[in-house]
Chain A
Amino acid sequence: MIAGAPRLAAVGDEAAYKIHARLEGVTRVYPPRAGHAEVHALGPISFDLRAGEFFSVVGPSGCGKSTLLDVLAGLAVPSAGTVEFEGKPVHGEVPDGVGVVFQEDASFPWLTVEDNVAFGLRRAGVDAAESKRRVDFAVAFMGLRDFSRAYPSQLSGGMRQRVCIARTLVMQPRLILLDEPFGALDQQTRLLMGDELLRLWRETSATVLLITHALDEANLLSDRIGVMSARPGRFLDIVETGWPRDRDSRLAERADFGAVTSRLWSYLRGESLRALGQGTAAR
């Protein structure tokens, strides 16, 4: 199996980077519940997230991608292993400097776009003037200026997702975790949102970890892509794309673009079939 093969070259690489977050031997096992056997959802997984990189995680459905994100964000506690963010252990609490965007619409329907974006600033103790400056910037950055006083019900799904990204952005996170943020959007909107995400990543110099099931999207956006196996999810390989930092969706026109996607698929085809088999067996 590929997962077992040690990647000696990686050890040398890592020394050249600052490590931003580290997972060591992380597993997550859901205890048995009425009518359900114990579920081994994740791991053991060990990997380092380099400071400032764009890292994507792809894998078959149900492989524990979201669990990985929850553990890294401190939203879930690992059953075994340790998680570190900026050298400090993460355990069941979201560390300062981590922002998360989910697939589901997480905008607050009772707040205007502006108030949604400003939501976390009061708790963080940011003063009014600075708060307004940051909100104005984030709203403009996400192209929501004309809608700053609108309510989420008046916006499209893509725009609501931008509100959630802007709400994360104002907190000036150093690590941004995205759990299939464009999963509910149509293909064109996805591509444009991907470009905006790249722009945001470049301009904030934050570290980004993106969970996605779209191989093209992972390829286009990432410096490195972690390919996960079927449940219990572990990394089969971590693929380095080598794309320039200054990139956008036109990258897909490059001749070598398809080769990376093909490589991801060659790993995942078998795993996806296995995951599908698990699904049918469970039913």
Chain B
Amino acid sequence: MSKAGWIRTLLLVGAVGALELACRTGAIAPTMVTAPSKMVTTLIKTLQSDEIGMHLRHTLSAVAIAMSIAIVGGFVIGFVLNWVPFLRRAFSPFLAAYYAIPHFAFYPLLIVIFGLGPVPLIVLATLFAMVAMILATMAGLDRVPRVLLKTARIHRLSLIEEIWRVRLPAAAPHILSGLKLAVAYSFIGVIAGEFILSTSGIGHEIAFAYDNFDNPRMYALILFVLGIVTLFNMAVFAWERRMLRRRGA
């Protein structure tokens, strides 16, 4: 392991150990935080119950749908806006101000429109995630070096070939970072939405435990969400690194 890796591990183990110690000695009351060991044991018990699988399925399917729409739609919209300058000029102020909007404030409105169920959650998460993908796609296409496009012309590539063989690979690192954001934002959108108001899902379960002063279960589920998101992110990062390593990026 590298030096940085050691420091990172030590920090993590130290923090968890300190929390464990503080909880066990009573320095931190169990009504505030439960001990990490208890989070884990409660989590194991929770995972053995039947209903948690249903909640997990609801959350992950909503995330998957929102993520797919955000990535595909964001890429297409970003590409079109990059290609058609007047459209871009028309929309760029909205895009620039987009993340200043408190999206979750519109969630009740979405429930009124779509009813309480998976649809408003998916819409909320998609809206939250898609613009990151649009912006990253546009940034990537903007930064394709002109000399590479000239090279495409010298080799007399058709428009489709130019896009497929030059523009997209050149823009790939930016597009990929937009994809990573879209994945993270989809998770945030769905789980936060569930937390605010819903009838199922991991976010809902956390909120339910919170409302019932069921601290061990609440912390166990928070730990669970952390675990899932970390795993997912690690998978995306590993994939990205494999793609980019050889480009020296």
Contact = CB atoms under 8 A, between A and B. Distances in A.
Contact of A104 (B145, B153, B154, B249): B145
B150 A106 contact: yes
Interface in A48-106: 73, 75, 93-94, 96, 98-100, 102, 104-106
The A contact surface, by secondary structure, is: loop
Q: How large is the interface on B (under 10, 10 to 19, 20 to 34, 35 or more residues)?
A: 20 to 34
A119 B155 contact: yes
Interface in B149-188: 150-151, 153-157, 161, 165-166, 169-170, 172
- Nearest first, the 3 closest Cβ-Cβ pairs linking A and B are A153-B248, A120-B155, A104-B147
Interface of B: 145, 147-148, 150-151, 153-157, 161, 165-166, 169-170, 172, 246-249
Contact of B151 (A106, A109, A151): A106
A91 to B, nearest CB: 14
Nearest to B244: A110
A108 B150 contact: no
Contacts of B153: 75, 94
A134 B153 CA distance: 21
A185 to B, nearest CB: 16
Given A94-B156, A123-B156, A106 B147 contact: yes
Given A106-B148, A106-B150, A153 B247 contact: yes
B164 to A, nearest CB: 12
A244 to B, nearest CB: 32
B154 A151 contact: no
Given A94-B153, A108-B170, A120-B154, 6 more contacts: A73-B154, A75-B154, A99-B154, A102-B147, A104-B145, A106-B145
7 contacts: A75-B150, A106-B151, A108-B169, A110-B246, A123-B156, A151-B246, A153-B248
A278 interface: no
B147 A151 contact: no
Contacts of B157: 123
B247 A151 contact: yes
A106 B148 CA distance: 6
A255 B83 CA distance: 57
